[in-house]
Structure 1
């Protein structure tokens, strides 16, 4: 009789312990961050929201680095998404015909969108667009209906333009060739000028096209663009890609030895080391 009493007590104890032990999080797999990755691109690849990836990895900010291992949640283990009410009308998309001088960044800015939204809506793998092209333009939700989403969007750290690993490498190599021996601010400034040109309707609309435009950057002509980038230049390029612009919107740069009368006639917006940055 005593044996059965002890057995019942043991069963009850095991059940209680089972209730006290927290449930183990279920992950689909682990992802190793590569150069050029962001939480946004990783979330899009895995169809998981940024917030859920951050929660699964106890991240308090959006900054990640190459080599970092992230837990990607199993979608089946996540709570069901709250669906909008059936009676709530969803805004329709509109279309836009690309005009000469347009860039994806400019079109996105005019419509209160991020370039990534246009890329997703039009299944674009890059930012290259051409005059006459028809683009689907998603209608942005009104601020009054999504105040929390607007606050999150403003606080999230995302690149100023979409970029690939190849874009980052090319931009870093230009920074190395143009300002490798200059202060970090000067190196960030070189990258920022390239990005400012991409965003401008006056220049080409991709990093590659801006850098390889005829007669713009001497490292392209003398072959120095093919030299590997330094680690400092890579970090400087990343800083610029994520919004750091110490040039105050400059579209040109040159050093103290430059004798080009056109460049010397431009309004100077910043100076770092031997580098001078100018607007038009």
Structure 2
């Protein structure tokens, strides 16, 4: 074989390899509490791209639905652990787990894992958020979500954060996240965790995710300003139009 033919063969082989690795669509199975917004953050893409790539008619998704996402992948080796793989790619362990629907604690050789390019919780910039915030604001909001809705579904957590942000944007309430959460009106704290000290407990990762999602526009309540436990006997709260009910939590306008 002469040099010209070898060069042509190598070029064709290289082109073929580049064409194969240029775009890779990985499978992601939707979990309870997921939204396209949350998935887009995880895989560092946008909602419109996910909708287009999956021929979706709307942004509605459901548990166990399989979506195609652009993601790098990794094949598990015998000596691997989730921690070592996360460390290898410089991502948080819970981020790696979140990107792989069937993974919890155990993995096995030959299993193919998605390696997400994004992050499920970001706190470096408020660019694009519906209200300005600092890292301390985000932490405070996430701690409130943990205190109020830790035992509830993820949707309720996003809704709690959304209520705070709806107040920030409403002229009847203070204009910052911190001032809304610590507001005292008529001699009463507006949020019980501030009164009983639960606001000082560390936020769970789910609550951090929910706070971040709400900050960037997700609001399952569509504008609610109040929430309460369905065991309350407060007739004033029950008299308000109900925006959303999730588990034991009721959100009203």
TM-score (norm 1): 0.45
**Higher Cα radius of gyration:** 1
TM-score (norm 2): 0.50
